[in-house]
Amino acid sequence: MMSCFYKQITGFDCPGCGMQRSFIELLKGNFKESFYLYPPLLPTLFTLGLTVWHLVFKLKNGAAFIKYSFITTTSIVVISYIIKMLR
């Protein structure tokens, strides 16, 4: 696993820390543990998958869907990071 430069220096988590652990748990099939490790992983994967789907199959309103799912993904990332820091 790639180690986080920011976490090595400061000791705090960065907004992306936990993503690789969560992804490994997801590959093992443990959805619950992957959600607890890093909640925004599934929305991020959904947005990336939606983008690929839209670029391949040319959905009609795909651009708007991608925009809104991107906005929700970023807000989930920020909110979960704030909750993780306050805890």
Partner 1 sequence: MENQGTPNQENINQQFNQQFGQTFGQQQLPNSTGVLVLGIISIVGCFCYGIIGLILGIIALVLASKANALYQQNPGSYSEASVKNMKAGKVCAIIGTCLSAIVIVIVIIELIFFASVFSSMPWGHLFNGVR
Binding site residues, partner 1, CB under 8 A: 4-6, 9-10, 14-17, 19, 44, 47-48, 51, 55, 58, 63-64, 66-67, 70-71, 73-74, 77-78
- The residue (of 29 and 60) whose beta carbon lies closer to partner 1 is 60
In terms of C-beta distances under 8 Å and separation of at least 24 residues, what long-range contacts does 70-78 make, across chains too? 72/43, 73/40, 73/43, 73/44, 73/46, 73/47, 76/39, 76/40, 76/43, 77/15, 77/40, 77/44, 78/15
Q: How far is the CB of 87 from partner 1 (least distance, A)?
A: 18
Q: How far is the CB of 29 from partner 1 (least distance, A)?
A: 23
Q: 15 — phi, psi (to 5°)?
A: -60, -15
- The residue (of 28 and 64) whose beta carbon lies closer to partner 1 is 64
- The residue (of 36 and 46) whose beta carbon lies closer to partner 1 is 46
